[in-house]
Amino acid sequence: MDIYDVVVIGAGPGGLACAIKAKELGLSYVILEKGTSVFQGIIDSYPKGKKVYPTIPKAETGPFPIEDLEPSHEPVEEYVAKINACVEQHRIAIQLGEDLQDIVKEEKDFRVVTGQNYYRAFNVILAFGRNIPVDLGVYGDAKTVARRLDNPEDHIGASTLVLGGGNSAADIVAALSKAKRAAEDETPVYWAHRREQFKVDKDVARDLGEEILLGGNIRILQGAIPVIGDVDKDGVDRLLIGVRSVDYDDGMKLHKGMSFPMKHVIACIGTRGPAPVFARLGLRQEMVGKAGKETKRIVLTPGFQASIEGIYAIGAAISPAYVVIEEDGTLERQKHVDLIFTAVSDGVQAIEEIARRK
Ligand SMILES: Cc1cc2nc3c(=O)[nH]c(=O)nc-3n(C[C@H](O)[C@H](O)[C@H](O)COP(=O)(O)OP(=O)(O)OC[C@H]3O[C@@H](n4cnc5c(N)ncnc54)[C@H](O)[C@@H]3O)c2cc1C
C-alpha cells in the first residue's frame, strides 16, 4: 500500500485548497470525503439559491489564495458546479463515502481508518468543518442511518422512522408524508423524539398540521429512545428504539420497542463542534475565554500543526478560535473567522508547512 505524503479529511474549500497546493508542490495526497459529493458540507448547510460571497476577513488583504476556489456572489448551486469543474480540471484525487473513524500512529506514519478502508500517510489534515453529526448513542453500530432525506421515493412502501424533535425533522416528516400520500402509499411515517415535547417554529408546525389534515399517515412517538443498532438473521441492519417501559414491583421492567431497517431511518438530531473528535484523537485542547464562558479550543502551531506531530487542523473545524502555541511554549487565543477565504488560506499554509518539513 502507498504511503501518501498527506491524507486530507473533508472535501470542502479547505480540503480542496490542500489538494491543489499539494499537487503544485509535488506532494502525494488523497482527500477522504464522507459525503457523496465534493462540498458536501456546503450543499448540506446553505439554503437553496443562497449567494456565496468572497468575503475577506478584516485582518487580511486579498487576493484570494486560490483563484479557482473563489466565489463571486453567485447562487450556491452555480458555485458548486464551478467547483466540480475545477475538481475535474485539476484532476483532484477524492475518495467519496469515506467517513473518518480513527487515526492510529504507526512507527513512521499514520493509519487513517474510515468506515470501510484504511489509508497510510505521513501527515493528516483535518478539514472536516464544524458540522459533526451528533452520535445516536446506541449500543452497537448505527453507521448506515441517514442524516438527511435524499429521495422520499426510496421510502415508498416501507414504514419510515424520523428521529429528532426540531424543525429539520419536522420538515422531513412532512416531505415524506406528502410523497407517500401522492403515491397512495399507506405505510406510516413515525416521528420519534427522546423528549416528551417537540420544538418547531410556527410555519413548520402549520405545514405539518396541513399535511396531517390532508390525510398524511404520521404517527408520533414521544419519549422514544434509540437503543441498539443490530444486524438481524436476514443480514438487515436494524435500529431498535425503546418506546415505553413499565415498572414491576420486584425491580423488573417491561420494555416496549420498535425495530426499523436502518435504510428507512433518518436521524435529524443535530450537529456539534469538533471538540469531542479532537479529544478522541488525543489532540491537545485548552479551555479559553471569559470566566464562566470558557470553551475548549484546539492547540496548534502557527503552521496549523496539532499536538501530535504530522496532524494538522484547518478551516471551519478550528473556528471561531484556536490556541496558538509558540516555540517557547506560550499559548495565545487566536480568533479564526469562519469563511471560505480563511479555510482556503489555512489549507495553503498547512501544505506549505508539510512541504517545508519534508
Ligand atoms: C449558511 C451558511 C452560509 C455561508 N455563507 C458564506 C459566504 O457567503 N461566504 C463565505 O466566505 N463563507 C460562508 N460561510 C462559511 C463557509 O461555508 C465555511 O467557512 C467553509 O465552508 C469552511 O470550509 P471547510 O473546508 O473548513 O469546511 P466544510 O465546508 O464544512 O467542509 C468539510 C467537509 O468535510 C466533510 N466531513 C465531515 N466529517 C467528515 C469525516 N468524519 N470524514 C470525512 N469527511 C468529513 C464534510 O462532509 C464536508 O464536505 C457560510 C456558512 C454557512 C453555514
Quick: pLDDT tens for 239-248: 999 998 888 8
- Ligand 1 and 33: CB distance under 6 A: yes
- The three-class DSSP label of residue 354 is helix
Burial class (CB in 10 A: 0-12, 13-18, 19+), 356: exposed
For residue 100, the CA-to-ligand 1 centroid distance in Å is 16
Residue ranges per domain, the chain?
3-133+271-357, 139-267
CA atoms within 13 A on the CB side of 137: 7
| Cβ–Cβ < 8 Å for 210, 224 | no
Go through 173-184 and write b for each residue having 16 or more CB atoms within 10 A of its CB, e for each that does not: bbbbbbbbeeee
Give mean pLDDT, residues 307-330. 95
| Cβ–Cβ < 8 Å for 47, 19 | no
What band does 333 get if pLDDT is binned at 50, 70 and 90?
A: very high
% of the chain at pLDDT higher than 90: 80
Give mean pLDDT, residues 19-38. 97
Q: Which residue from 15, 11, 30 is spatially nearest to 93, judged by alpha carbons?
A: 30
% of the chain at pLDDT higher than 70: 100
Q: Is the pLDDT of residue 270 over 90?
A: no
CATH number, span 3-133+271-357: 3.50.50.60
Residue of minimum CA distance from atom 41 in ligand 1? 100
Give mean pLDDT, residues 206-234. 94
For residue 252, the CA-to-ligand 1 centroid distance in Å is 48
- Ligand 1 and 118: CB distance under 6 A: no
For residue 275, the CA-to-ligand 1 centroid distance in Å is 16
Q: Is the pLDDT of residue 251 over 90?
A: no
Burial class (CB in 10 A: 0-12, 13-18, 19+), 111: middle
The mean of the pLDDT values for the chain is 94
- Ligand 1 and 318: CB distance under 6 A: no
Quick: pLDDT tens for 75-103: 999 999 999 999 999 999 999 999 999 99
CA 60, CA 3: separation in Å to the nearest integer?
A: 35
| Cβ–Cβ < 8 Å for 324, 317 | no
Contacts (Cβ under 8 Å, ≥6 apart) of 18: 6, 8, 29, 31, 125, 127, 314, 347, 348, 350, 351
Residue of minimum CA distance from atom 22 in ligand 1? 316
Residue 51: all three cell numbers together: 449567494
CA 103, CA 269: separation in Å to the nearest integer?
A: 26
CA 217, CA 233: separation in Å to the nearest integer?
A: 29
Task: Say which range, 19-23, 285-289, 311-315, has the weakest mean pLDDT.
Answer: 285-289
Q: Is the pLDDT of residue 1 over 80?
A: no
What band does 356 get if pLDDT is binned at 50, 70 and 90?
A: very high
Single-letter amino acid, residue 238:
R
Give mean pLDDT, residues 298-304. 97
- Ligand 1 and 347: CB distance under 6 A: no
Quick: pLDDT tens for 97-155: 999 999 999 999 999 999 889 999 999 999 999 988 888 889 988 878 988 888 899 99
139-267 is a CATH 3.50.50.60 domain: yes
pLDDT at residue 45, rounded to an integer: 85
Other residues' Cβ atoms within 10 Å of the Cβ of residue 89: 9
Residue of minimum CA distance from atom 2 in ligand 1? 46
| Cβ–Cβ < 8 Å for 28, 50 | no
Determine the atom of ligand 1 nearest the C-alpha atom of 339: 19
Residue of minimum CA distance from atom 48 in ligand 1? 41
Start-end of H helices in 214-328? 275-280
pLDDT at residue 197, rounded to an integer: 92
Give how far Cα 141 sits from Cα of 6, 163, 269, Å: 29, 16, 17
The yes-or-no answer to whether 3-133+271-357 and 139-267 have a common fold is yes
- Choose the residue to mutate in 125, 338, 346 for probing ligand 1, maximizing ligand atoms within 8 Å of C-beta: 338
CA 296, CA 264: separation in Å to the nearest integer?
A: 36
Residue 126: all three cell numbers together: 483535518
Quick: pLDDT tens for 41-87: 999 887 778 899 999 998 888 899 999 999 999 999 999 999 999 99
Q: Running DSSP on this structure, what letter comes out for residue 56?
A: -
- Choose the residue to mutate in 128, 130, 143 for probing ligand 1, maximizing ligand atoms within 8 Å of C-beta: 128
| Cβ–Cβ < 8 Å for 18, 90 | no
pLDDT at residue 28, rounded to an integer: 98
Residue of minimum CA distance from atom 9 in ligand 1? 53
The distance from CA 4 to its chain's CA centroid, rounded to whole angstroms, is 24
Residue with cell 449500543: 139
- Choose the residue to mutate in 126, 298, 340 for probing ligand 1, maximizing ligand atoms within 8 Å of C-beta: 340
CA 29, CA 10: separation in Å to the nearest integer?
A: 13
Give mean pLDDT, residues 292-310. 94
Q: What is the pTM of this model?
A: 0.81
Other residues' Cβ atoms within 10 Å of the Cβ of residue 84: 13
Determine the atom of ligand 1 nearest the C-alpha atom of 53: 8
Give mean pLDDT, residues 223-242. 94
| Cβ–Cβ < 8 Å for 112, 119 | yes
Task: Say which range, 10-14, 147-151, 254-258, has the weakest mean pLDDT.
Answer: 147-151
| Cβ–Cβ < 8 Å for 312, 298 | no
What band does 294 get if pLDDT is binned at 50, 70 and 90?
A: confident
Give mean pLDDT, residues 154-167. 96
